[in-house]
Amino acid sequence: MRKIASIILLIITAALIWMLNTKLGMVPPIGKFLDPFGGFWQNAEPVAGFPYGDASEVPGLEAEVTVYFNERGVPHVFAENDHDLYLMQGYLTARDRLWQMELQTYAAGGRLSEIIGPRTLTIDRLARRRGMRLAAEKTVDFLEKDPQSKGILDAYTAGINAWINEVPVRKLPIEYKFLDLRPEQWTNLKTTLLLKYMANMLTGYSQDFEMTNSLLNFGPEMFAALYPDFPDTAAQSPIIPRSHEWNFDEIVSIDTPQYIGPHTKIPELEYPEINPNNGSNNWAVHGSRTKSGNPILCNDPHLALNLPSIWYEIQLSTPEMNCHGASLPGAPAIIIGFNQNVSWGVTNASRDVQDWYHIEFKDASRKEYRFGEEWLPTEIRVEEIGIRGSKPLMDTVLLTRFGPLTYDENFSDEDAPLNLAVRWTAHEPSNEMLTFHLLNRAGNHQDYRDALKLYACPGQNFIFSSREGDVAITQQGKFPVKWPGQGKFVMEGAEPLNDWQAYIPFDQNPHVLNPPRGFVSSANQLPTDATYPYDVSGRYEYFRNRRINQVLGNAVNVTVEDMQKLQNDNFNMMAAEALPTLLSVLEEGGLNDDQMTLLDDLKSWNYYNDPHLTAPSVFEIWSNLLNERIWVDDMEKDGRFLAWPQRFERIRLLRKDSTGFFADDQRTSNQETLEQLSTETFREAADELFAWQDSLDTGWTWGRYKNTEVLHVMRLPAFSRNATEIGGNYSIVNACSRTHGPSWRMIVEMGEEPRAFGNYPGGQSGNPGSPRYDQQIKDWAEGKYYELPLLKREDANHPSIIATEILKPAS
Amino acid sequence: MKILIQLVLTALLAWLLQGLFHLPWWSVAIAGMAASVPQKTTPGQSFLAGFLGVFILWSTVAFLADSANESLLSAQVGQLFPSSPSSFALVLVTGGIGGFVAGLSALTATFLNTTFRKPKQ
């Protein structure tokens, strides 16, 4: 009897240990996770002091490297050569951000299921079927053929791996412990995957399917009216000022096919969530308009607000160069920054560089497809997708001359699935990495232009200023020459003239140097007006740029403080243009006293989305409800998925009083009017606001109502943060909406010594157990900046420096 | 007295295995078992000694880490758990889990020991 009891006890003990050592569903292995010697407690970093600062050895270094850290944990790296510089960048970034780096490359390469399980399989399949992995493979091959690029990639990879090999398991980021994972070795492919991750974030957005349905639904005339290429030209303020003359010797011309419309309606397809609000501002003011006489350059890229932040601040220095700015964890060099002689920044070009083709196969074997008079062979690529806890999935993807066949019988729930292939500039190998390497070392405008020549995707508006006093902007990327309308909707792959026929030459991309108006700027608006000899279709923003250009156009004696104010400007131009019309159609007789209070608030509003005001909340909720009521029945009826006209266009239609047609709810037999809809939705908006307030017992100030979230990359609420002190919204210069916003703010005044200021919503450390995880969020929300010094090696005693680390070659 | 000796031995062994040799967390089971062998404790006493030995060790190490960290991390990790335990509760839960595994192991070892070893006469 006792024997049996002993054995049972032994089994129970063993089973308990197994259970506490195993991840069950999304529950981490509890014993392992709580273990104070190896689990999460090891990530609880002492608040006092700084975790690094001793001397240590790093394998692969050729010479000694000195790193100074400031109180925010920003490393200032002093290396003897480029190899050691990039190795240290990899090493230091991995030490602070390893989990984020791995997660992003797993996502880009369609490998999330390997670490998460079957839940993410569709996301992975889509990534592979859109050619993300294929593109990264081609790019790494292309980069490694160039010895200089290979040297940079190898050094960066070696640095990351030096940290991965050094870090004890107990010191791994908490997310590894949560998911019960270990990091794998970094590779050059992972670096190119990260570059494709950015390309996808900024150019992977696609509206072609909805546009196809819109065109078939509305017909060409109404289509042109609802989705114009150059909406309300008189009001627009393109990146290249309208007075600019294009003096091109020869224009690349292409042939237009006979029939340009689409053939088939497109069902609702799985497509990754890519936020069209990914945008940015940048501008550079010429010395003729600044108080000091030196140019001032500003940049704030708007991306999803995440923790750890998408940016990692760093200073990189060798005897030949010295550069400070924001880098992307997973990619070498500084992406937005400045050195002694130049400063630069980027905004998204927003041009359409991803087009879809309907493929006609010869027979069910799908070995050949029609292209003009010919039948071309398909290629087969098998994607092996690992799945945690089960066998891998083999996904067969056919390749066409356009690109991978994303949608087909293997990836569809439809009875008669469409065969759709994608062509995308991100698929083509290019060397963006070297562009940034060269920009970090640029000395003047010519160096800047030379660096940009290599740059293809994602197309960006590169803003520039120099110590010599130049300000310039270039919209750079590899842009196909398109016939009017090409690629706005799904095209027939059988028509050869539907394929891309040529690219716009580098020196014909929009560029302007020292324009007469005394500043250059961009905010994802149209690059040019209609006089530019090429098609520039894309998805543009129509409000921020006009506000920026309005402020800068009136500005004289500009200072850094003025620029800080402009980056944090909360003027809501959209509201200023839409609200008077909305108020004029509202029937006040239908409102009760409480609702009238809200209306009075709106009427006295100054159109600023300041965090302490309440009117912006009323406007936001009301305009959204009304927007839905007017458009949803027209755009999403009977399983049709049409493209919503741009916000700017919707407001213009409203002001022109021509939404009468759209105001009528086509699902009802009654004839709805704008007056009726706006009054009804105003009452609904009031009810929603009152209910929201009652449930939270707080006032609906804009900051609280918007409740900006900086989400943890795995969306764990415990590791996410809220910022209620920040105003703004999408379409406002301070473009901070609920989950997107200025992910890095930088202002640089050139001069004998550059003076730079910056901040971002996060902190240098990716560890939620570090005070430097979210340290900068509050200051960022309040519009405060830190000085970004361009230190020199002899500045060891600079007041901002709190620790020095000496890293030596491994003996 | 027997309990106290076993308790101290368990804690010491566990600290050696985990803190010094960086063995995985379940080495507390080894510590719990090993410390119970030379003792002539009853099964109940053995469980208590194993439990308290690792409970004290784990809670102390967790508490020290938490204090230096000013509960920055434990406040967040607490939110990952169903009832959102406080930082101090999380310290106790940590000790409890480690302690329970060590206690159960000690109990098992004592049981096996008294059952299968021939009593010396």
A37 touches chain B (CB under 8 A): yes
What's the pLDDT score for residue B69?
97
Distance from the Cα of A47 to chain B's closest Cα (Å) equals 5
pLDDT digits (tens, 9 = 90+) for B26-57: 999 999 999 988 877 888 899 999 999 999 99
What's the pLDDT score for residue A657?
67
A718 with B18: Cβ contact below 8 A: no
Minimum-distance CB partner of B101 among A16, A38, A40: A16
Q: Which chain B residues touch A716 with a CB distance below 8 Å?
A: 80
Tokens of A560: 């850094």
* Cα–Cα distances in angstroms (integers) from residue A143 to residues A102, A150, A153, in the given order: 21, 6, 8
ipTM of the complex: 0.95
A769 with B58: Cβ contact below 8 A: no
Least CA distance to B103: which residue of chain A?
A13
Torsion A628-A633-A635-A638 (CA) sign? positive
How many residues belong to chain A? Answer: 811
- Around A189, how many Cα atoms within 13 Å sit in the side-chain half-sphere? 12
**Count of CB contacts below 8 A, A vs B?**
124
pLDDT digits (tens, 9 = 90+) for A21-43: 999 888 899 999 999 999 999 99
What's the pLDDT score for residue A698?
76
Minimum-distance CB partner of A5 among B72, B80, B111: B111
- Around A346, how many Cα atoms within 13 Å sit in the side-chain half-sphere? 27
Average pLDDT of the segment spanning A355-377: 95
Q: Which chain B residues touch A717 with a CB distance below 8 Å?
A: 79
Cβ(A173)–Cβ(A99) below 8 Å: yes
Residue A715's H or E segment, with its range, is none
What's the pLDDT score for residue A1?
73
Q: For strand A75-78 and strand A312-318, is the pairing parallel, antiparallel, or unpaired?
A: parallel
Quick check: helix, strand or coil at residue A348? Answer: strand
Distance CA A178, CA A714 (A): 11
pLDDT digits (tens, 9 = 90+) for A688-725: 999 988 877 778 899 999 999 999 999 999 999 998 88
A34 with B19: Cβ contact below 8 A: no
Q: Which chain A residues touch B107 with a CB distance below 8 Å?
A: 9
B65 with A41: Cβ contact below 8 A: yes
State the helix-helix crossing angle for A147-166 and A132-144, rounded to 10 degrees.
110
B58 with A36: Cβ contact below 8 A: yes
Cβ(A758)–Cβ(A306) below 8 Å: no
What's the pLDDT score for residue B92?
96
A167 touches chain B (CB under 8 A): no
Q: Which chain B residues touch A4 with a CB distance below 8 Å?
A: none
Residue in B18, B76, B21 with CA at minimum distance from that of residue A31: B18
Residue in A348, A706, A351 with CA at minimum distance from that of residue A545: A348
What's the pLDDT score for residue A6?
85
Average pLDDT of the segment spanning A365-380: 96
A44 with B58: Cβ contact below 8 A: no
What's the pLDDT score for residue A387?
97
What's the pLDDT score for residue A78?
98
Distance from the Cα of B118 to chain A's closest Cα (Å) equals 13
Task: Please determine, for residue B119, whether its predicted confidence score (pLDDT) is greater than 60.
Answer: no
Minimum-distance CB partner of A37 among B61, B74, B79: B61
B76 with A768: Cβ contact below 8 A: yes
A21 with B66: Cβ contact below 8 A: no
Q: Which chain A residues touch B112 with a CB distance below 8 Å?
A: 6, 9-10
Residue type, A114: E
What's the pLDDT score for residue A49?
86
Distance CA A690, CA A675 (A): 23
Distance from the Cα of B51 to chain A's closest Cα (Å) equals 13
Task: Please determine, for residue A510, whether its predicted confidence score (pLDDT) is greater than 50.
Answer: yes
Average pLDDT of the segment spanning A726-741: 95
Q: Which chain B residues touch A6 with a CB distance below 8 Å?
A: 108, 111-112, 115-116
Distance CA A203, CA A349 (A): 9
Indicate the average pLDDT of chain A.
93
- Please calculate the CA angle A710-A716-A717 and round it to the nearest 5 degrees: 60
A168 touches chain B (CB under 8 A): yes
What's the pLDDT score for residue B121?
46
Average pLDDT of the segment spanning A441-463: 97
Instruction: Name which residue leads in pLDDT, A5 or A661.
Output: A5
- Which class for A239: exposed (0-12), middle (13-18), buried (19 or more C-beta within 10 A)? buried
DSSP structure class, residue A401: S
pLDDT digits (tens, 9 = 90+) for A532-581: 999 999 999 999 999 999 999 999 999 999 999 999 999 999 999 999 99
B97 with A769: Cβ contact below 8 A: no
Distance CA A434, CA B107 (A): 64
Minimum-distance CB partner of A40 among B29, B77, B104: B77
Torsion of CA B28, B34, B37, B39, to 10 degrees: -70
Residue A317's H or E segment, with its range, is strand A312-318
Distance CA A295, CA A521 (A): 13
Minimum-distance CB partner of A34 among B24, B93, B105: B93
Widest pairwise Cα distance in chain A: 100
Quick check: helix, strand or coil at residue A89? Answer: helix
Average pLDDT of the segment spanning B95-99: 96
A8 contact partners, CB below 8 Å, separation of at least 6 = none
Q: Which chain A residues touch B47 with a CB distance below 8 Å?
A: none
Assign B118 a pLDDT band (cuts: 50, 70, 90).
low
Q: Which of A6, A12, A41 to mutate to test the interface with B (most CBs of B within 10 A)?
A: A41
Distance from the Cα of A254 to chain B's closest Cα (Å) equals 58
A48 with B68: Cβ contact below 8 A: yes
Q: Which of A11, A12, A34, A767 to mutate to test the interface with B (most CBs of B within 10 A)?
A: A34
Q: Which of B47, B54, B80, B91 to mutate to test the interface with A (most CBs of A within 10 A)?
A: B80
A6 with B98: Cβ contact below 8 A: no
Minimum-distance CB partner of A44 among B24, B72, B98: B72
Assign A638 a pLDDT band (cuts: 50, 70, 90).
low
A31 touches chain B (CB under 8 A): yes
B101 with A6: Cβ contact below 8 A: no
Residue-by-residue DSSP string for A529-557: -TTSSS---B----SHHHHHHHHHHT--S
Q: Which of B28, B67, B69, B90 to mutate to test the interface with A (most CBs of A within 10 A)?
A: B69
% of chain A exceeding 90 in pLDDT: 80
Tokens of A15: 């089973």
Average pLDDT of the segment spanning B95-119: 87
Residue A71's H or E segment, with its range, is none
A26 touches chain B (CB under 8 A): no
Distance from the Cα of A278 to chain B's closest Cα (Å) equals 29
Interface of B with A (CB under 8 A): 18-19, 22, 24-26, 29, 58, 61-62, 65-66, 68-70, 72-74, 76-80, 93-94, 97-98, 100-101, 104-105, 107-108, 111-112, 114-116
Average pLDDT of the segment spanning A222-243: 87
Average pLDDT of the segment spanning A18-23: 92
